[in-house]
Amino acid sequence: MIWDAITMVLAEGEGGESGGPPSILILYAFMGVIFYLIFFRPQSKERKRRDAMLSAIKKNDKVVTAGGIIGTVTSTKDDEITLKVDESTNTKITFSRAAIQKVITASANDDDKS
């Protein structure tokens, strides 16, 4: 159906009957919509999913940073997250919230009460 419309618009330009500027504008508009659906729409969905993941990070979540450091969240501020990266020496590192790549495991409410 879509390809039929495209070939029809292209055929008008090749035959004796020229559709003129309106037919080519329709083709460009159609290509613009397809371009939006293929490139921009998935990117905005991914950005919304990432923003939701970053805003849901809380204490005792296990996360991976963009640099590959795995740690447990000990505290969160507006734009900073402190991770405990070594249990034996109690080493803590503070990161920007944007440096978190993914949450491995979310904390359970029962773990906080123990």
How does pLDDT run across 50-93, given as a tens digit for each residue? 999 999 999 999 999 999 999 999 999 989 999 999 989 999 99
- Is pTM beyond 0.75? Reply is no
CA distance 108 to 96: 24
In 3D space, the residue among 53, 52, 95 whose CA is nearest the CA of residue 70 turns out to be 95
Among the residue ranges 19-23, 24-28, 81-85, the one predicted with the least confidence is: 19-23
Crossing angle for the helix pair 21-35 and 2-14, to the nearest 10 degrees:
150
Q: What is the DSSP letter of 38?
A: I
Residues 6+ apart with CB under 8 A from 99: 65, 66, 67, 81
